[in-house]
Amino acid sequence: MTDAGAARKRPTGLGRGLSALLGEAGREEPIAPAGDRSTGVRFLAVSELEPHPEQPRRHFDEDALDELARSIEARGLIQPIVVRPHEGRYQIVAGERRWRAAQRAQLHQVPVIVREFDEAETLELALVENIQREDLNAIEEAEAYRKLIDRFGHSQEALGRIVHKSRSHIANLLRLLDLPAAVRTMVADTRLSMGHARALITAIDPEGLANQVVERGLSVRETERLAQGARPAASRAASVPRERDADVAALERQLGDILGLKVKIAYAKGTGSVTLGFSSLDQLDLICQRLTGERI
């Protein structure tokens, strides 16, 4: 069996959640002495850690890093970084942002949790950890889903269960990868939102329209109208729904993008209801946390 085939058939257990695989950072574990390379919790020199070369997160907000560094200076690094032994050093599996901020805070040592992961598990956990923590922009998240599908054979439904997102949310993000590179860059650096990008996917000249959207500061709905107006007349006639339905559909998409869940809006004569779909108790708990504003 090839390495790729073995990875596809390997039961990862990711559906149990990251805490089950990485260990709870808050639980008590023995602190290993310096120089001990056994697994467990310990303090390591910042210089002994290195990022994973395929870390899905490529854009680190400088202001956010400075804010985290100030917090670390004042309170220390509360949550350990998860690492694995790798070629005489330690490779970061989860927590590169904390490691970067610790460097800015001029820490010499940081707390880490050492776990033995193979290469496939390391990449898979790095992708899922970033997605679950909502640390990625829309393009980074889409690329992470694509890697999980291509390398590990996950279906969109299986991914939804692992990262607590709806299948439609994952499908919509994957469609963003069909956009030209220049438009994907605009989404990655937040000049365009995911809603803007989705409106441009079926446009004849998405890059040209994207430039107009940025220059004119158009809203998502204005972008949808702009993209629709750029289609051939026959295509517009076949695709234009009733005006009210279009507005409701746009709101459903926007809420679905924000929550990562299937959203259905029923509206008539000024009143209506909003229905949020979930496929597991974990996903229901996620909805409750988001609605109450609790940290996920």
> What local confidence, expressed as pLDDT, does residue 117 receive?
85
Contact 261, 267 (CB under 8 A): no
CB neighbourhood size of 267 (10 A):
14
> What local confidence, expressed as pLDDT, does residue 128 receive?
74
Q: What is the pTM of this model?
A: 0.54
Contact 82, 92 (CB under 8 A): yes
Q: What confidence tens digit (pLDDT) does each residue in 57-92 have?
A: 666 778 888 888 999 988 888 888 989 998 889 999
Hey, what amino acid is at 208?
Answer: G
184: tokens are: 């994907």
Average pLDDT value for residue range 268-290: 70
pLDDT of 136 above 60:
yes
Active site residue 67: no
DSSP state of 86: E
Catalytic residue among 29, 87, 96, 243: 96
pLDDT of 196 above 70:
yes
Angle between helices 156-163 and 167-176 (to 10 degrees): 110
Confidence label for 103 from pLDDT (cuts 50, 70 and 90): very high
267: tokens are: 């509206």
Contact 94, 165 (CB under 8 A): no
How far is 46 from 107, CA to CA, in rounded Å? 7
Q: What confidence tens digit (pLDDT) does each residue in 165-181 have?
A: 888 888 888 999 999 99
DSSP E strands in 194-251: the ranges are none
> What local confidence, expressed as pLDDT, does residue 293 receive?
58
